[in-house]
Amino acid sequence: MRVRRTVVQILAALLAFTAAPSAMAVPPPPPKPSDQEIQDSKADRDAKAGKVGELTNRLAEAESKLVDLQAAVELKMEDANKALVDLENARDIAAKARADATAAKQEADAASTAIEQVHEDVDEFAAASFRQGSTVGSMTAFFGAKSPRDLLDRAALLNAVSSRQLDALDRMQRARVDQANKDSRARAALDLANEKQAEAEGAKRVADQATAVAEQARRSQAAEAVQLESFRARTEQELAEAQAKVGGLESQLQRYREWQAAKQREDEERAKAAAAAAAAQKHRPGAKPSRPAPGRPPVTGGAVATVIARAISQLGVPYAWGGGNANGPTRGIRDGGVADSFGDYAKIGFDCSGLMIYAFAGVGIELPHYSGYQAKAGRQLPLSQMAPGDMLFWSTSGRIHHVALYIGNGQMVEAPYSGSRVRITPVRYGGLVPYVTRLL
């Protein structure tokens, strides 16, 4: 019996040694590069590193030209956007001034008509008194009375003229002067409103002309932009190939070293399993699988989450200059230049400031349709305090021309430019103003 128990224990140890670690068996080793191959690969890597640096610099120059060109066009388009908002405000003010002037003139005309009617009544009475041999306000009006009743009637009539009509005439005369003054002030306000509207219309024309000039510059450089994009693609391809060649043999050597480490771990595990099996009197119980640690739940709820969710819900919606309001994407408008060349007026979508209007409308915040005004709509904080829900702005020569919403982890959501769509992209720091605007 003792011999049989010993045989069983030896068999169990052998089984544990050969079968238990089979689940982690290491595959055959990959080929190990020679020392000469390693040296050659390092020399090639150094040569490619210089090429990669050159390509990276050329790519950065190409990106800078494209960004500057797009920024100039965006700036002119936002100037036109601002001029359009100011023009609409000036037209509203002028319309109210016209309505006030019309009402004041009607009141002045009514006062003049009433004065004329009282004048006619007085003149008629005076003429009747003259025909009867009396004058208004004179004692001779009582002479010739045929009876006491007639005398009282004449006295009452004269009193009515002196006490009521003449007093009413005086009051109405003062009212007419007041109405004339009111009419004069209303006309002055109308003249000022018309002047402001004319200035706003002039600013809109100037902005439109500037946009047309920027568009012409963009058209003249269209061939260069196409070449830069093509150069960018070729450069990225060359960079990827250079990086792949540099890491070729070193990656192979790393894989061999990883295989060595895995093989060593496997041998150690086999030895431990064999020793444990030889000493055990019964089968070792299997370890219970551990539960994965619960992940951190996503941030939900709150005004910031609502604003970000509304913006992200519009991913893929076309860019349309002038498009977007509190209810969602709208048809774009004509700008006489860049947007028209992309057919934005026929698209349903957002521009950069329109997307912000829709996002913040979800928490009851109203924003103007101009990025320059949106930058002043809340607290301005340093970029170092950037937090999800903040608005980011880009400027050229100190003038803001683009806005996006920061959503965290170095990412932002934006409606970038004509011909594109609403997207999530890493924050661009070129041209970024040194502050964020926080509304929440």
- Report, as residue numbers or ranges, the catalytic residues: 352, 402, 414
Please give the Cα distance from 400 to 138 (Å, whole number): 81
Please give the Cα distance from 344 to 215 (Å, whole number): 14
Written as one string, the DSSP assignment of 203-232 is HHHHHHHHHHHHHHHHHHTHHHHHHHHHHH
As given in the structure block, the two tokens for residue 383 are 């970029």
Written as one string, the DSSP assignment of 37-78 is HHHHHHHHHHHHHHHHHHHHHHHHHHHHHHHHHHHHHHHHHH
Please give the Cα distance from 347 to 330 (Å, whole number): 8
* Structure letter (DSSP) for residue 421: B
CA distances from 124 to 117, 120, 160, 355 (A): 11, 6, 14, 73
Q: Which of 354, 355, 332, 330 is nearest to 343 (CA)?
A: 332
